[in-house]
Amino acid sequence: MIREIGAEQTWLLRRDGLNPGKPLPTALDPRDTIEGARHLGWFEGDRLLGVGTISRHPLPLEPAAIAWFVRGMSVVEGQRSQGIGGQILCALIAYAVSRDPGGLAWCHARIPAESFYRRHGFHLLDRIDLPEKGLRLRMARPLVL
């Protein structure tokens, strides 16, 4: 079941899935506190198995566009490839559609996640080397396909 969660509840899964070995944050990322940001978690009972975040944030390549940044998508090891991440992503996009139906969603995808995002309508814009994170694929899609 998908539920709205606080940003702090995403930290452990984000760290374990996206930044293993790094310490947990001690303060909120400013992107987590943007007005209208939405953090979702997938739960089985009380166990959190997946997380994702979306917030209104300009796409550097199209600064005039109404854009929503998808980030922090992570699913617990052993539960991946079962549709959890896809359902979280669809719920995040549905939320953005409810606020800006003419907008677009974008992300900085890890190389292994490219096919996941393509299955959900994203296309490659460019490649970007992010400080402390490495090579990412900047991908985007209209909110409404």
CATH of the domain at 131: 3.40.630.30
* pTM for the predicted model, two decimal places: 0.94
What is the CB-side half-sphere exposure of residue 141 using CA atoms within 13 A? 21
Domain carrying residue 99 = 2-142
Average model confidence (pLDDT) across the chain: 94
Question: For residue 43, what pLDDT is reported?
Answer: 97
Count of structural domains within the chain: 1
Residue 26 in this model has a pLDDT that exceeds 90:
no
Residue 142 in this model has a pLDDT that exceeds 90:
yes
Residues 6 or more apart in contact with residue 143 via CB below 8 angstroms: 68, 93, 96, 97, 100, 101, 102, 103, 104, 105
